[in-house]
Amino acid sequence: PKPPPVTRYNLNNVTISPSPVENRENVLILTPMARFYQQYWDNLMRLTYPHELITLGFILPKTKEGNAATTELQKQIAKTQKSSPERDRFKSIIILRQDFEPPIPSQDEGERHKMQNQKGRRAAMAKARNSLLFTTLGPATSWVLWLDADIIETPPTLIQDLALHDKPLVAPNCFQRFYNAEKKAMDERPYDFNNWQDSPTAQELAAKMGPDDILLEGYADMATYRALMAYMQGEDDDQNMEVPLDGVGGTALLVKADVHRDGAMFPAFPFYHLIETEGFARMAKRLGWQATGLPNYKVYHYNE
Ligand code: GDP
Ligand code: MN
């Protein structure tokens, strides 16, 4: 028999609730990926959110490094989807290859964090995120989890924990483990400085800028005096503490799919002097969706 020619989705029936497992809500995990890290995949596999409700989407650059990462990724996908137990398998997986060149070939942490490289790099990242989002977001998607390819450690209940906050955008705090030579022991330090609360200084800087100039966070040459979530983390504090944010990073970020459906995306151009994920938070806010941060709920970035 021929399938019916029209598939109807009533968006009112797609719930986006603080109990997504009970309501069988579909989650789309989106990852721009320049390098493949086994620890990223292992962490993904450990997520306790029912895998049959999860779609994975990846976008990789067409560089030598991107080709190598694609091969590694496909190996893991084949293993999981074909020979792992049913409960480990994801609902579906989409891999995209980027159709534009990255602005700078080097991807080392030092090189990519240089201020003069930021505008081009962040614009390219914005385009990659938008391509990934607009080709994968479906009518049954409830949540989008942005998760960078170098996030190697999260609580296994990440999705449920973040969804419980019932916020349009919610960001955990991204740290990095490192060997502290002074203490002669493993230690951790903040990594993602794009989760912040705006400051009068940053607004004054923006007011004096040309229309194409952008504000960047974490550079001594451009002191913004914004309040960074990275530094709001306290020792024995409540894991569930919430703070409002004006800028967000993309290392780990849970977004209600309605926010993206309303048209909030990652500007590859200066938007209120912000681009990419920070511009996204601003655009969401203009659409009426406020970002929230969880200073004491931590995820960990790979240490190069
Ligand atoms: P940083 O940690 O903020 O310095 O940024 P990264 O270089 O880690 O980039 C953020 C995410 O985008 C990571 O998941 C990278 O693997 C990925 N990424 C970096 N450059 C590119 C690129 O040119 N194309 C795509 N598709 N992904 C990229
Ligand atoms: Mn990274």
Once rounded to an integer, what is the mean pLDDT over residues 266-272? 97
Using the mean position of ligand 2's atoms as its centre, give its distance from the Cα of residue 23 in Å.
32
Indicate which residue's Cα is closest to atom 19 of ligand 1: 34
* Ligand 1 atom, smallest distance to 128 CA: 26
**Beta strands per DSSP E along 181-273:** 185-190, 196-197, 227-228, 243-245, 252-256
Residue 99 has pLDDT above 90, yes or no: no
The verdict on pTM exceeding 0.90 is: yes
Residue type, 128: A
Nearest CA to ligand 1 atom 18: 34
Cβ–ligand 1 contact at 127 (below 6 Å):
no
With a threshold of 0.95, tell me whether the complex ipTM lies above it: yes
Q: In whole angstroms, what is the distance from residue 61 CA to residue 59 CA?
A: 7
Q: What is the pLDDT of residue 106?
A: 58
Q: Is the pLDDT of residue 265 over 90?
A: yes
Task: Copy the structure tokens of residue 234.
Answer: 């306290």
Nearest-angstrom CA–CA distance, 279 and 266:
6
> What is the per-residue pLDDT for 14?
92
156 alpha carbon – ligand 2 mean position (Å): 20
Q: Which two tokens stand for residue 128?
A: 């990659």
Give the 3-state secondary structure of residue 126. helix
Name the pLDDT band for 195 (thresholds 50, 70, 90): very high
From start to end of 41-191, where are the E strands? 54-60, 92-97, 141-147, 151-153, 169-180, 185-190
CB atoms near residue 54 (< 10 Å): 21
Q: Are 9 and 3 in contact (CB under 8 A)?
A: no
Ligand 2 center to 6 CA (angstroms) = 41
Q: Report whether residue 98 contacts ligand 1, using a CB cutoff of 6 Å.
A: yes
Q: Kindly tell me if the per-residue pLDDT of 107 is higher than 80.
A: no
- Return the ligand 1 atom nearest residue 149 CA: 14
pLDDT value of residue 105: 58
